[in-house]
Amino acid sequence: MARAFPRSAAALVLTGLALVPAGCGGDPPPAAPPARAVRYGADGRPAAPDVVATRRLDVIWVCLDTVRADAFAPWAKGDVAMPATSAWLERHAVAFTQASSTAPWTGPAVASLFTSLLPSAHGARELSDRMSLVPAVTTAAEILAAQGWFTVAYTGGGWVGKGNGMLQGFREPLTPFSFAGEAEHVLQVFAGSRAYRPRFLFFHTYEAHDPYLAPPARLHAPPTPPPEVDLAAIDREAAADGGRSLVRRFLLDAATREVVFGTAFGGPRKAAVTRWLERGYRDDPEGPALAAEAKAAYVAGLRRLDTALAGWLAALDDLRLLDDAVLVVTSDHGEGFGEHGTMHHGRRLYDELVHVPLYVRAPGFPPGRRIAAPCSLLDVLPTTLELVGLPPLAGAEGASLVPLLAGAPGRPVPSEELRTGTETGGDDHALLVAVRDATHKWIRTTDLRTGTSAEEAYDLVADPGETRPLPPGTRFPPAFEEVVRAQRRPR
């Protein structure tokens, strides 16, 4: 009989489980070197029947949508926007300081996290209502569910919601979720569900996402009535200021966002917003002021998230819920505030968008270490498989992070972005591919209407802001050149 995961504090009583510390499992060393890769089916079952997970650890992945790496202490250049969470993670986890996302927006990046496949391989990369993760792919949740893990997803919804295949392998997702709104509730449920071990819990929140500082999402919150707005006046104002006022509403006015912009893609006001973010910003003398205002609101949202998340992590630890667990804290992409003459996310592959925070806490991982070897969101699933004692996933494009702890060098990793014109009203069709390691970035942009390509490259050590392109013909280290050559192939 299927077991129902307790969803409320009342359900805790039914489980009969008190909030008492579990036994400490100690810190065994990292798992043995990986076995040969095996094929896992679309339902997550391994092709070889004798493949069984040998370490039944809880697995907790936290994906903080839109949180830039420099929100955390290891990457911050000035004030740390998330000091409490940084301090907790510094004490308890390893920071992988050169982690790249595979894409600059949610859908393709989270699909890569789940599948260890690049967007061009998993296919969930078109920014439109049609975006979906096809059933044929194998996801982390499917693999762990097939091994007996109880799989639960708390998400912000949207791209990581119901109906687009993204959450295949999870039971009914619980959405919309935020740490600022629901951390305590989730802590109680988590603590009260020890009988369901091992569990794979995926947490995803839009707390840093635009509209910045929106009220924290709450599970089962009743809908709020739509506000009264004068759309004709809004459109007149936007026509007079080149669209800047529309952008301001889009980024900062949570209360009216849905009624002004709707939820579907390609609407004229949304397209006007994207055109200003992409092209209008650099010609608008008021652009930097709006970027500064938006960034202040974004940082305020990070601070609210920081308080809730740090408290949640500390409480999990106090209850000893992390003793026998793999904990990953990361983001799907960052956010731009004028660094390259544009704002927001998606559409570009500069570091403000694809350099992401990545922390892992696991038995045997020495807390406080910072590992500067280049790696990717693609590596989270292979790492998890190794830590629970499962063989690698055949066809995975990522690799376990465990060898990096012993000094392995990491590898240059790709990112991708497909622009289909949906956002801007149909005038921009391009494929971007990038390769990044700890010292270099290479980006190739192909116009899909003309077939012409342009390449740019940066020295991330001398020029971390990626503002001074290296001369054409610059040679890179051989391993980097090899990945660049692979990315030049059509996809």
Q: If you search the block for the tokens 């982690």, which residue do you land on?
A: 99
The residue range among 118-126, 284-292, 329-337, 394-402 that interacts with Zn ion, by the rule CB under 5 A, is 329-337
Among the listed ranges 64-72, 81-89, 94-102, 350-358, the one in contact with Zn ion (CB under 5 A) is 64-72
For residue 7, give the H/E element and its range.
none
Q: Is the peptide bond before 223 cis (omega within 30 degrees of 0)?
A: no
Nearer to Zn ion, 330 or 383 (CB): 330
Write out the DSSP string of 151-169: EEEE--BTTBSSSSSTTTT
* C-beta closer to Zn ion: residue 6 or 119: 119
Question: Which CB sits closer to Zn ion, 207 or 466?
Answer: 207
Q: Which is nearer to Zn ion, 104 or 412 (CB)?
A: 104
Residues between 84 and 113 with contacts to Zn ion, criterion CB under 5 A: 106
Question: Under 8 Å CB-to-CB from 396, ≥6 apart: which residues?
Answer: 37, 116, 117, 378, 381, 382
**Stretches 5-13, 168-176, 325-333, 413-421: which one binds Zn ion (CB under 5 A)?**
325-333
Q: Which is nearer to Zn ion, 113 or 443 (CB)?
A: 113
- Nearest distance in Å: CB 20, Zn ion: 37
Answer whether 234's CB lies under 8 Å from 241's CB.
Answer: no
By C-beta, is 244 or 333 nearer to Zn ion? 333
Listed in order, strand segments (DSSP E) in 119-259 are 150-154, 199-205
Determine if 65 is a binding residue for Zn ion (CB under 5 A): yes
H or E stretch covering 445: strand 440-447
**How near is the Cβ of 80 to Zn ion at its closest, in Å?**
21
Candidate segments 83-91, 139-147, 328-336, 405-413, binder of Zn ion by CB under 5 A? 328-336
Residue 70 DSSP symbol: G
HSE on the CB side for 27, CA within 13 Å? Answer: 8
Shortest separation between residue 371's beta carbon and Zn ion, angstroms: 24
User: Among 63-71, 146-154, 213-221, 471-479, which window interacts with Zn ion (CB under 5 A)?
Assistant: 63-71
Q: How many other CB atoms are there within 10 angstroms of residue 129's CB atom?
A: 12
Number of residues that bind Zn ion (CB under 5 A): 3
Q: Is 329 helix (H, G, I), strand (E, B) or coil?
A: strand
- Minimum distance of Zn ion from residue 159's CB (angstroms): 7
Tell me if 417 contacts Zn ion by CB under 5 A.
Answer: no
**Cα distance between residue 437 and residue 446, in whole Å:** 22
For the chain, state the CA radius of gyration.
22
Residue nearest to Zn ion (CB): 106
Shortest CB 111 distance to Zn ion, Å: 11
Q: How far is the CB of 3 from Zn ion (least distance, A)?
A: 31
Q: Judged by CB, which is closer to Zn ion: 53, or 356?
A: 356
Measured from the CB atom, the residue of 61 and 480 that comes closer to Zn ion is 61
Sheet architecture: strand order including 355-356: 355-356, 99-100, 375-376
Q: Dig out the tokens for 165 from the structure.
A: 């295949």
Q: Minimum distance between the CB of residue 428 and Zn ion, rounded to whole angstroms?
A: 20
First to last CA, the chain: 45
Query: Which DSSP state fits 128?
Result: S
- Per-residue contact string for residues 114-153; x = within reach of Zn ion by CB under 5 A: ----------------------------------------
Task: Identify which of residues 165 and 392 has a Cβ nearer to Zn ion in the complex.
Answer: 165
User: Which residue of 58, 210, 332, 397 would you call a contact of Zn ion, by CB under 5 A?
Assistant: 332
Question: Of residues 193-232, which lie at the interface with Zn ion (CB under 5 A)?
Answer: none
Dihedral-angle region of residue 365 (phi above 0 means left; psi in -120 to 50 means alpha; beta otherwise): beta
Nearer to Zn ion, 415 or 446 (CB): 415
Interface region with Zn ion, contact rule CB under 5 A, candidates 311-319, 326-334, 369-377, 483-491: 326-334
Cα(128)–Cα(422) distance, integer angstroms: 7
Q: Which of residues 341-400 bind Zn ion (CB under 5 A)?
A: none
Q: What is the DSSP letter of 53?
A: -
Helix/strand/coil for 99: strand
Task: With contacts defined by CB under 5 A, name the span among 143-151, 332-340, 362-370, 439-447 that binds Zn ion.
Answer: 332-340
C-alpha to C-alpha distance for 402 and 383, rounded to whole angstroms: 7
> Which residue in 94, 124, 92, 98 sits closest to 111, CA to CA?
124
Instruction: Provide the binding-site residues for Zn ion, judged by CB under 5 A.
Output: 65, 106, 332
